[in-house]
Structure formats: C-alpha cells, structure tokens
C-alpha cells in the first residue's frame, strides 16, 4: 500500500463516519477554551470539564482572572495535574491577555504562543477550534496514533509529526482531522490495548496485525490469570463519539 492510498482510505473513512468531530472540552468563548486547553496538559478532558464550571464562575472574564494571584486561582484547579504551575500560568496569561491584547484571545498563532502556558499545540487547538485555521495540533494521542497507523514516518518530535500530517492531509480538513486522531487514540487506538478487531480504519493501518496479536496475547494472559473465557470473537466496528462543542 502506498502512503497516498493509506491517507486516502483513512481520510475517507473518517470523513464518512466522523464528519463533525469536535473537542470534548466544555467552553462558551475563546477565553474559556484557552483556559481549558492550558489545564488539559497531562490531564484528561473529563477532569478539566469537572473543574472549569467553578473556575469560570469565579473568574468569568480575563479581566477577573488578571486581578487574581496564582494562590487565589489554585484552590479551583487543585484536582488538576500540576496545579501550582498551571495557576501561575493562568494568572500570568490573563494579565498579558488584558495588558497586550485588550482582553481578547489573539487569532494569530505566533501571538498566542507568547502567552504564558501556551505552546504550539495549545495555540493550534485554539486556532483550529475557534477560527477554523488550517493547522494540525499534535498532542500525545495524535503523536502516537499517526506513527502507529503509518501516516507519519520517523518523526521524533510533535513538530515533525505536525509538518508531515499537514503535507498530506488536505488543508480544509486539518481543523477536523486532529479531532479524528485524538478521538481515535482516546477510544479505539488506545496506547496499551488498541481495539484493532473493532477498528474502522484497520485495513489501512500499518500496525494492525502486529498490535492485534499483541493485544490478544495480553488478553489471553490476563484471562489465564483470572480464568475468563476469551474464546468468543469480538465484532462490531467502533466509531469514536464525535461530540459537539460545549455541552454546558
Ligand atoms: S488497527 Fe489497531 S493499531 Fe491500527 S489504528 Fe486501528 S486500533 Fe490502532
């Protein structure tokens, strides 16, 4: 299979089955999404969504957060990973947002990356989700899944993955394509137990045979330990949930 055939097959499947994929973070405006994405580093979207309602109620605008210290923000995000650093970043980010951007999240990726706590991935997420920019945010799921499927070859950094994906995926699909890979990595092609036997894109995947047998071996070993019958074949293609924007 050529690389072009692999991309064509996978893009075709996702276009048909997950046309409206979107972020699972809850937000009502660009400021809230920016805060949520900063909080989501090394943390699940589910945990972030449990945390942000109280945070946004206390700090409804960038101006409210800009007046707060990190110590005042900390109690609202204490259940998130790295709360100390994130509280400092949120306070500093909100101050810069107000001092230099009039309290509006900038649409320019490079300008966004000047904000404390905002790296390339975060800026690309905001750009893609809020403004539909033709960019490819690369998080841990995208980095892993793109290499595993064979869409990306030899990438050592998220930036290399980003550039390879942007070279092959039609520009107008980039804003939705990163959600395809994130959701696929989160619910089907998981890090430790990819569900290859239920995967809709397995016929184009470079790893499916190898990983399927690895996963099956792990399952059999687990079953032997727990005496569970694994002889029943599994079926049904899994289609990751394509959630719509904010459900708040
Ligand atoms: S076939 Fe397996 S390894 Fe390939 S994308 Fe699907 S779940 Fe991942």
Residue 177 alpha carbon to ligand 1 centre in Å: 16
Q: Which residue has the tokens 């996978």?
A: 10
User: What pLDDT shows up at residue 211?
Assistant: 66
Q: Which of 205, 212, 214, 238 to mutate to test the pocket of ligand 1 (most atoms within 8 A of CB)?
A: 205
Cβ of residue 181 lying under 6 Å from some atom of ligand 1: no
CATH number at residue 40: 1.10.340.30
Q: With a 6 A CB cut-off, is 148 part of the ligand 1 pocket?
A: yes
| Residue 172, helix vs strand vs coil | helix
43 domain-assigned: yes
pLDDT-derived band at 210, boundaries 50, 70, 90:
confident
pLDDT band at 218 (very low <50, low <70, confident <90, very high): low
Q: Would you place residue 20 in the very low, low, confident or very high pLDDT band (cuts 50, 70, 90)?
A: confident
Pick the catalytic residue from 88, 139, 195, 239: 139
Contact, 74 vs 84, CB < 8 A?
Answer: yes
The atom of ligand 1 lying closest to the CA of 199 is: 6
Q: Is residue 180 part of a domain?
A: no
**Interacting residues of 187 by C-beta distance below 8 A, sequence separation 6+:** 238, 240, 241
For residue 149 the two structure tokens come to: 């499927």
Res 194 pLDDT > 80 = yes
Number of domains in the chain: 1
Helix ranges, the chain (H): 3-17, 30-39, 45-58, 62-66, 70-73, 83-101, 109-112, 120-131, 140-149, 158-168, 174-187, 208-226
- 220-233 mean pLDDT: 50
Rg (CA), the chain: 20
CA–CA separation, 158 vs 143, rounded Å?
Answer: 6
Å from CA of 179 to ligand 1 middle:
16
Is residue 121 part of the annotated active site? The answer reads yes
For residue 216, the model assigns a pLDDT of 57
241 within some domain: no
| pLDDT(118) > 60 | yes
Domain membership flag for residue 13: no
Q: Which domain holds residue 65?
A: 30-131
* Residue 98 counted as domain residue: yes
Residue whose Cα lies nearest atom 2 of ligand 1: it is 196
Q: Using pLDDT thresholds of 50, 70 and 90, give the confidence band for residue 221.
A: low
Quote the CA–CA distance of 194 and 149 in Å, as a whole number.
11
What's residue 233's pLDDT?
41
Token pair belonging to 156: 């050592």
- HSE on the CB side for 54, CA within 13 Å? 12
95 CA to centre of ligand 1 in angstroms: 43
User: For residue 240, is it within any domain?
Assistant: no
Cβ 177 under 6 angstroms from ligand 1: no
Is the pLDDT at 76 greater than 60, yes or no? yes
In a domain? residue 227: no
Q: Does residue 84 sit within a domain?
A: yes
Query: Residue 150: helix, strand or coil by DSSP?
Result: coil
Rounded Cα distance between 82 and 39, Å, is: 9
pTM of the model: 0.82
**Alpha-carbon span 112 to 121, nearest angstrom:** 11
Q: Which of 45, 86, 88, 121 is catalytic?
A: 121
Q: Classify each residue of 127-143 as buried b or exposed e, where b means 16 or more C-beta atoms within 10 Å of its C-beta.
A: bbbbeebbbbbbbebbb
Span from the CA of 124 to the centroid of ligand 1 (angstroms)? 25
Measured between alpha carbons, how far is residue 40 from residues 33, 47, 190, 193 in Å? Answer: 10, 8, 18, 23
Question: Of all protein residues, whose CA lies closest to atom 3 belonging to ligand 1?
Answer: 208
d(Cα 148, Cα 208) in Å, to the nearest integer? 9
56: its two tokens: 């946004």
For position 235, what pLDDT does the model report?
A: 43
Q: How far apart are alpha carbons 34 and 105 in whole angstroms?
A: 8
* Average pLDDT over every residue of 37-55: 95
| Phi (first) and psi of residue 238, to 5 degrees | -90, 130
**153 Cα–ligand 1 center, Å:** 16
Q: Which two tokens mark 143? A: 């980095």
- Asked whether 202 lines ligand 1 (CB < 6 A), one says yes
């Amino acid at each position: 299979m050529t690389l072009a055939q692999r991309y064509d097959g996978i893009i075709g499947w996702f276009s048909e089955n997950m046309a409206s994929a979107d972020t699972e973070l809850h937000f009502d405006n660009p400021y809230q999404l920016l805060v949520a994405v900063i909080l989501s580093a090394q943390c699940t979207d589910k945990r972030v969504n449990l945390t942000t309602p109280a945070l946004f109620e206390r700090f409804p605008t960038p101006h409210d957060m800009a007046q707060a210290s990190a110590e005042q923000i900390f109690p609202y995000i204490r259940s998130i990973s790295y709360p100390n650093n994130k509280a400092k970043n949120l306070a500093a980010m909100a101050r810069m947002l107000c001092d230099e951007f009039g309290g509006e999240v900038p649409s320019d990726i490079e300008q966004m990356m000047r904000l404390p706590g905002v790296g390339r991935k975060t800026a690309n997420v905001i750009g893609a989700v809020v403004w539909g920019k033709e960019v490819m945010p690369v998080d841990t799921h995208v980095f892993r899944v793109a290499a595993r499927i064979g869409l990306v070859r030899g990438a050592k950094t998220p930036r290399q993955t980003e550039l390879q994906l942007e070279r092959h995926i039609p520009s107008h699909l980039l804003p939705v394509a990163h959600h395809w890979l994130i959701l696929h990595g989160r619910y089907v092609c998981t890090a430790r137990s990819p569900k290859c036997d239920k995967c809709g894109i397995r016929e184009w995947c470079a790893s499916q045979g190898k990983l399927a047998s690895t996963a099956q071996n792990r399952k059999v070993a687990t079953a032997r330990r727990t005496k569970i019958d694994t002889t029943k074949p599994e079926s049904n293609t899994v289609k990751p949930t394509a959630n719509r924007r904010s459900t708040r």
